[in-house]
Amino acid sequence: MVAFDEKTPAVPNNQLSWALLAATGLMRIPRHTGLGRWMHAQPEPVVRGDLAHLRRFANATFIGRATASRSDGSLQGQQAASPPLDAIVWATGYQPDYSWIDLPIIGSDGHPRHQRGLTAAPGIAFLGLDWLDSRNSALLNGVGADARRVVHTLLKQPRSVHGS
């Protein structure tokens, strides 16, 4: 059984798609620009090949976004209901937790307050965050540009009293 919002955009995961994204510069558009703000507000796409693969399984039922659990152990979705289920694995991705950081660099929403990775605390920066500067920021092939910029800026900051 597969539950997801059928309106979630699906993109192909192939070399041509990645080449087009790289060639057009879409993955490097900064979040603070008008286009970057618009792109950031859009739902994250899923990889179309994964969905096509799932649809080939005879036992996969696409129910749309799950809306309720039912007394017989099934889920009600926007388009259909699942059969009764023995177990549910709710895979929703990951959520970072910055609660262990005891510095005034975490906002009330629980997310780091930063400007392109740099915080108000001298010597403290973030890398690899989703949309740190662009969509590419959280991807292996994109974090390098952020890392170069952040490290360059950190190296120009005055050293602390403790010498580190």
Asked if residue 103 and residue 89 are part of one domain, the reply reads no
State how far the Cα of 85 lies from the Cα of 60, in Å rounded to an integer. Answer: 12
Which of 45, 63, 93 is at the close of a domain? 93
Asked if residue 89 and residue 13 are part of one domain, the reply reads yes
The pTM of the full predicted model, rounded to 2 decimals, is 0.51
Q: How confident is the model at residue 164 (pLDDT cuts 50, 70, 90)?
A: very low
Average pLDDT over residues 105-120: 92
Asked if the model's pLDDT at residue 101 lies above 80, the reply is yes
Average pLDDT over residues 16-41: 87
Which of 93, 122, 138 is at the close of a domain? 93
Asked if residue 85 and residue 11 are part of one domain, the reply reads yes
Asked if residue 46 and residue 111 are part of one domain, the reply reads no
Asked if residue 86 and residue 129 are part of one domain, the reply reads no
Asked if residue 43 and residue 5 are part of one domain, the reply reads yes
Q: Count up the domains in the chain and report the number.
A: 2
Q: Are strands 75-77 and 66-69 parallel, antiparallel or unpaired?
A: antiparallel
Which of 93, 120, 141 is at the close of a domain? 93
In this structure, how many other beta carbons lie within 10 angstroms of the beta carbon of residue 132? 24
In the block, tokens 């059984």 appear at 1
Token pair in block for residue 54 = 């799932």
Q: Are strands 46-47 and 10-11 parallel, antiparallel or unpaired?
A: parallel
Neighbouring-strand partners of residue 2: 62
Asked if residue 87 and residue 6 are part of one domain, the reply reads yes
74 vs 114, residue with greater confidence = 114
Asked if residue 101 and residue 74 are part of one domain, the reply reads no
Asked if residue 80 and residue 117 are part of one domain, the reply reads no
Asked if residue 110 and residue 61 are part of one domain, the reply reads no
Asked if residue 123 and residue 55 are part of one domain, the reply reads no
Asked if residue 138 and residue 80 are part of one domain, the reply reads no
7 vs 67, residue with greater confidence = 67
Average pLDDT over residues 100-109: 90
Asked if the model's pLDDT at residue 60 lies above 90, the reply is no
Which residues form the domain of 15?
1-93
Q: Given this model, what pLDDT does residue 119 score?
A: 92
State how far the Cα of 151 lies from the Cα of 127, in Å rounded to an integer. Answer: 10
